[in-house]
Amino acid sequence: TVEEARLKEAAAMKYFGWSPEEQIIYDHLMGTHGKKAITHIDQISKQTGISASKVYRIRNKLANELRSI
């Protein structure tokens, strides 16, 4: 859809300005940069070693950033 294309373009512009943790969480959420898409926060936490609460906060931060573009 047009919305998906817009979000992917926005993410591509923002990606390299994100911290490594933000990048890895985005990659797992979206299945980009060779990562398998994972939608459950607990699974991302186990896969990355980042606490579930931090994954949740970062996911929401990234979502808000992309919506604001």
pTM metric for this prediction: 0.86
Q: 57 CB contacts (<8 Å, ≥6 apart)?
A: none
What pLDDT was estimated at residue 56? 97
What pLDDT was estimated at residue 7? 78
What pLDDT was estimated at residue 68? 81
Q: Would you give per-residue pLDDT tens digits along the chain (69 residues)?
A: 787 787 788 888 899 999 999 999 999 999 999 999 998 999 999 999 999 999 999 999 998 988 887
Give the residue from 5, 8, 2 showing the smallest Cα distance to 62: 8
For 38, the 3-state DSSP assignment is coil
Cα distances (Å, whole numbers) of residue 58 to 1, 2, 12, 22, 24: 25, 25, 17, 6, 10
